[in-house]
Amino acid sequence: MSGETAEKPKYVGYGYHGGGRKKGSGTGRKYKTFSFSCSPEEYEQIKQRIEESGLKPSHFFVKKCLE
């Protein structure tokens, strides 16, 4: 052996804060987020409607808001 040690590649997975792909990486799309509050009863009704729609929650809300 020549005494040289191979450098270990830096870990870039999901095992630590900030690891993995960045939000929207590779798509070129930019997104905005928001939140809202509701009662537990309203939450259950909303959850049921989302399930019935077959859409992802974010797509459901965007569609409803833009109708």
Q: What is the pLDDT of residues 12-60, one digit of tens each?
A: 656 666 666 666 566 677 888 889 999 999 999 999 999 999 999 999 9
Question: Can you give the residue range of the structural domain that contains 53?
Answer: 38-67
Residues in contact with 63: Cβ distance below 8 Å, sequence separation at least 6, in sequence order? 55
pTM above 0.75, yes or no: no
Residue 64, in any domain of the structure: yes
Residue 16, in any domain of the structure: no
Residues in contact with 16: Cβ distance below 8 Å, sequence separation at least 6, in sequence order? none
- Domains in the chain, number: 1
Residue 62, in any domain of the structure: yes
pLDDT at 2 over 60: no
